[in-house]
Every structure is written in C-alpha cells, then in structure tokens.
Amino acid sequence: MKRIVLHPGELHISGDPSVTVSTLLGSCVSACLYDPVHRIFGMNHFLLAARSYTRDALSFESQSGRYGLYAMELLINDMLHAGAERDRLRAKVFGGANVLTHLAGGAFAIGDVNSKFILSYLENEKIPIVASDLGGHQGRQIHFQGRDFSVFVRTLGEEKEQTIIANEKRYLEQAVKQQEHSRDESKVTYL
C-alpha cells in the first residue's frame, strides 16, 4: 500500500488501487470523489469554503486549494483529465467540526460553514453523496482507499484534537504571513 498524506490546501488524485489518501480534519473538510467505472479517485483538504463565506474571519488573496470552491474545481478537473467521467462521480465528505470558533470572537463557526458549503456545492453539481460525517466538535482522521473507495473514519481524542487545532491555527497564521510578505514585495520598485 502507498499512503499519501494531505495537508490543508492540498489534493491528490490516482487510478492506483494500492494508494490510500489520508488526512487529519478539524474545521477543514475533505471531499473524496471517485468514478467507480474508470477507477479514478481523489481527495482534497480545504480550510475555508470560499472568500465570500469568510465574513470577518481570515481571508486569503490566493485562490489556491485552501478555499473549497477552488479545491473542488481543481479536484474535479484533475479527475476528468485523468479519465473520470463527470456523470459517474460519487462523493464521500468528512470534517467540518467546530474547533476554531474562537478565531472570529466565537460568532463564526468555520466548520458549519464548510459543511454547508460542501453539501450545497455537490448538490448544485449533481454529484451524489454516498457517505458523510460532517460537523460536531471533534476532529477526525480519514483514510480513503483506492482499492474499493472505502473511507475509514476515526474520531480523534483530546490530545490529537489539540494537535489539529494547533496545526490549523499555525496554517492560518502562515498563510496570512505569506500574504503580507507578498504585498510587501509588490511594493518594491526595481530601477
């Protein structure tokens, strides 16, 4: 078995049945998509639903895989390029726990927003959801297997959950620093 570990903002697609894609989720969401006929599968890991959903919470200028809207488009397009057919795609979705509510003064539940986003997105795209485990207050570890497209979910204990909260917070802080650094560099004039 080959194991691929995803971090926030990343995705992976494959047609290799020996691949298992894994990640740890707190308020983040992962969509596990697969085409059972062409045996193409992929998973993403996004931190925020979309820039418009962030309200007064953190917002990133980059439109990379950290936003669900773009992460889903990237995942679907990569799968189609690998040979999957859009009308055959099936979804399993996980995450969206409310572990970072304190970031916006406690009034903004990122996990709830991410969960609502993924359900709405897949409904609009007419991609059936065959399994889900969204919401709550506990993080999850998931393993998506290419052999039979099963997803194993383990609810995390207090110690592991604190690690996820620290990782998500660190990821948010790094993304903000990178964004600020990019702004500063754009102000430099070269003669």
In a domain, 191, yes or no: no
Which residue's structure tokens are 């679907």?
A: 76
- pTM (2 decimals)? 0.78
In a domain, 13, yes or no: yes
12-22 tens-digit pLDDT: 999 999 999 99
CA-CA-CA-CA torsion sign (109, 61, 49, 145): negative
Q: Count the domains in the chain.
A: 1
In a domain, 87, yes or no: yes
57-91 tens-digit pLDDT: 444 444 455 688 999 999 999 999 999 999 999 99
In a domain, 83, yes or no: yes
In a domain, 58, yes or no: yes
Q: Which domain holds residue 57?
A: 2-186
39-53, 65-79, 95-109, 116-130: range with highest mean pLDDT: 116-130
45-49, 104-108, 118-122, 174-178: range with highest mean pLDDT: 118-122
In a domain, 10, yes or no: yes
Q: Taking a C-beta distance cutoff of 8 angstroms, is the pair 160, 141 a contact?
A: yes
Instruction: Give phi and psi for 42, each to the nearest 5.
Output: -160, 160
For residue 163, give the CATH number of its domain. 3.30.1330.200
Compute how many other C-beta atoms are within 10 angstroms of the C-beta atom of residue 17.
14
